[in-house]
Amino acid sequence: METNGAESQPGREEKSAALAGIRVLDMALFGPGPFCARILGDLGTDIIKIHEPHLESRGGPIKLQFPDLPKFPGLRNCRFAGINLKAEAGLEIFYELVKTADVIVESFRPGVTHRLGIGYETVRKINPAIVYASITGFGQDGPYRDVAGHDINYISIGGLLDMTGNAGGAPALPGTLVADFAAGGMSAAIGILAALASRQRTGLGQFVDVSMTDAVVGLMGEWINEYLYGGPLPKRGETMFTGQWPWYNVYETKDGKYISIGAVEPWFYANLCQLLGREDFIEHQYAGNNKQAQIFEFFKQTFLTKTRDEWVKLLRQKDTCVAPVYSFDELVSDPHLIHRGTIREMPHPILGHTRQVGPLVKLSDSPFRVANWASQLGQHTEEVLHSIGYDATRISVLRKAGIIN
């Protein structure tokens, strides 16, 4: 059992996870769904991932083996149950699970769950307290409701892609799936937690409509609102946080690596100029284009004179808001991230000890721990069915009929 950076000590009171006792039926195996499930699972929910007994892709059967673990971040604190929801017997199993569940998460296109008989209007009749979250690209209604898309399309319409990249250049793809994870997955988790809090007052669940495009627009809201209030139309690379100023930018260093500078506040900028030996720049933080071009060129040439880590050591003598630009092999060894448990070693039943990214948040009285690991599809089907009263004989019949795996 894993806690916030330390194993449980003898004699110490064992504290339960924040969402212990909450059961989630997760039918969103890819994209934002697993990220949402990872958040909820790390907080202590019982995640049951329901999938087709013989899930296939264009390339053949999908096998979730240990070498594939990095592709599936939700494989801890979850159980895999293979159930054919297109068969009557499979629907019966699903409906029995609904009676025991608190939350359902799905990412089918709008209308699919209704056709399958597993939509919100159906399940709420079985369990009025259910919180039902649907994650889609464009939401459950509107002109784009049935339009197919992926992360790149949602960040395009949401304005994020247009603001990413250098001035005068083409839009640049961000380094992660922003719409899937930061927008879709995290928004779904927030919506679910809000609905669970509401249920404590009303006793009733509700439908959580998560549009990844809506959520991307929300992430861009600070700048969109400024424009709507009469501000200028922002352009890529020409705003404070996209490269307009030399004191909020990225620079190459002597060793071919990069350093980030975020000296927004005047006192941080003053410290930066002092450490660089250019106090004459201090009064020109917001000067016109000619002066900014001079400062840009000085910064560019100066940062090439030392290695990245030499600059970090020098500029952290004062508060300057400086950080190294890490590659993955560097960040996983960073002492601060390891100390915080952001990168942590976890006991694994097959791999022994393995490193993974830890939980997104740390709660003082609800420690993070790994309740279980999943290594393959259908791994926990029998265990899940036993929990709702199915005996070995009945399970065997269902397996032979291809209803479960």
Which amino acids are annotated catalytic? 150, 180
DSSP state string for 143-191: TTTT----HHHHHHHTTTGGGSS-TTS-----SS-TIIIIIIIHHHHHH
Cβ partners under 8 Å of residue 66, min gap 6: 350, 351, 375
Tokens of 335: 């002492």
Rounded-to-integer distance, Cα 44 and Cα 25, Å: 14
Angle between helices 212-219 and 186-202 (to 10 degrees): 100
Rounded-to-integer distance, Cα 32 and Cα 184, Å: 5
Rounded-to-integer distance, Cα 296 and Cα 290, Å: 10
Rounded-to-integer distance, Cα 392 and Cα 213, Å: 45
Rounded-to-integer distance, Cα 348 and Cα 353, Å: 5
Surface-to-core class of residue 180, CB atoms within 10 Å of its CB (0-12 exposed, 13-18 middle, 19+ buried): buried
Rounded-to-integer distance, Cα 36 and Cα 305, Å: 44
Q: What is the CA radius of gyration of the chain?
A: 25
Rounded-to-integer distance, Cα 340 and Cα 349, Å: 24
Between β-strands 258-262 and 322-324, what pairing exists: parallel, antiparallel or unpaired?
antiparallel
Tokens of 138: 């464009």
Measuring CA to CA, how many Å separate 105 from each of 40, 303, 393? 11, 48, 30
Rounded-to-integer distance, Cα 104 and Cα 98, Å: 8
Considering only the C-alpha atoms of the chain, give the largest distance between any 2 of them, rounded to a whole number of Å. 83
